[in-house]
A = this chain, B = another copy of it.
């Protein structure tokens, strides 16, 4: 790449991987795709740990992407082998939205500004770097769309092959991205959960590198960089509360991990309250959190227009529930219409285009404000995890207005003009 230097290739810190429930160590190079055998796929998700006493966090300024955080990543900076600029997305101050919510500050982390227009590029970048380090030529994923289209693009940029498993209802724009990037796309006539199982089987059989949420602990390391960027942009004085949409729970858990490590390193004074936001028609984690349960009850027929968080069996539920509890945060559910309102407000009052799931975090802030749970002194943030163009039908459903149709003849133009002039 030409306009952001690669800098020296950082040696990653000593990283170990452990089961989140029993603590059993699992070698990092075997971890992708494999949960802890004793604890199984739900309780046996794995997590990367570092000896933080040996980490020297010198991240440098924004501009060259997330591998500037290599001191807190389990894989080395791949340098020009992975040329796309991932991360270092804008964090906007949105004073009009702050007035609307009655808080001191609203910050918006616009992660739709990544290469494939989704936060998932952070995870894909670290996964592809890991596959490169392990000399694995094929990467695979199951996804409702964003993770797969992200992996397709990052793999293509690095010269790796991608095989992607999508559910039958994956939106055409996301499938189009994958195919355009040359991935082999396998559409599984079933749910995301079924596509996930087929993908796991294929990775096992063919030795493909698995970029699957929750089972591969390296992905959360990429996603946590969004927390590192938010904190750094706030001069290490992070917001009081950070909200984000929750499907599998992986982004939400990764936010916690990022903020937790920064505090453990002494870079920040506290961990923000983290609020995970689900759609009412698909809220197994919000329900489990409210009930104080250790795991979520699977939801057979999840329903929401926010397809990226339409997940009935959250793969990262153990870590997500822990993140909400340990941060004194919350997992809440909001109606789809609240998410539509958030899509409109983000665009109209801050100029940020969010896909439905990307607007869910801000919808959560609206919900908290409406129920009196935000204070006037609060500095709050929402992570916008994907761009509105990811789901045009979803964006259109958030718009109650219709375009005005006029004929280009002089007779009608005059009267139509007057009508427009009067409403402006």
Contacts and interface: CB of A to CB of B under 8 A. Distances in A.
A115 B420 contact: no
B198 A408 contact: yes
B353 A184 contact: no
A177 B389 contact: yes
A17 to B, nearest CB: 27
Contacts of A166: 403
Given A63-B61, A408-B189, A2 B403 contact: no
B347 A388 contact: no
B63 A353 contact: no
B180 A347 contact: yes
A194 to B, nearest CB: 4
A351 B80 contact: no
A186 interface: yes
A84 B351 contact: yes
B406 A198 contact: yes
A423 interface: yes
B181 A403 contact: no
A392 B153 CA distance: 16
A179 to B, nearest CB: 4
A277 to B, nearest CB: 20
Contact of A399 (B180, B229, B347, B424): B180
A59 to B, nearest CB: 12
Contact of A62 (B63, B185, B229): B63
A3 B387 contact: no
A264 interface: no
Given A1-B93, A62-B63, A117 B387 contact: yes
Nearest to A96: B159
Interface string A380-424: 000000011110100110110101111110000100110011011
Interface stretch (A24-32, A69-77, A200-208, A283-291): A200-208
Given A189-B408, A234-B2, A351 B156 contact: yes
Best-surrounded residue of A173, A408, A420 (most CB of chain B within 10 A): A408
A190 B388 contact: no
A75 B190 CA distance: 55
A325 interface: no
Contact of A206 (B349, B398, B421): B421
A423 B156 contact: no
Given A3-B229, A353-B115, A186 B403 contact: yes
A22 interface: no
Interface string A89-123: 01111101000000000010010010111000000
A321 interface: no
19 contacts: A2-B91, A2-B93, A62-B63, A85-B90, A85-B113, A110-B115, A115-B353, A116-B353, A153-B351, A154-B351, A156-B351, A166-B403, A180-B343, A182-B348, A186-B406, A187-B403, A190-B407, A194-B408, A198-B413
Given A2-B234, A180-B398, 13 more contacts: A2-B91, A2-B93, A62-B63, A83-B350, A84-B92, A172-B392, A173-B389, A176-B395, A181-B347, A184-B423, A186-B416, A206-B417, A387-B389
Interface of A: 1-4, 61-63, 80, 83-85, 90-94, 96, 107, 110, 113, 115-117, 138, 153-154, 156-159, 161, 163, 166, 172-173, 175-177, 179-182, 184-190, 194-195, 197-198, 201-202, 205-206, 208, 229, 232-234, 343-344, 347-353, 387-390, 392, 395-396, 398-399, 401, 403-408, 413, 416-417, 420-421, 423-424
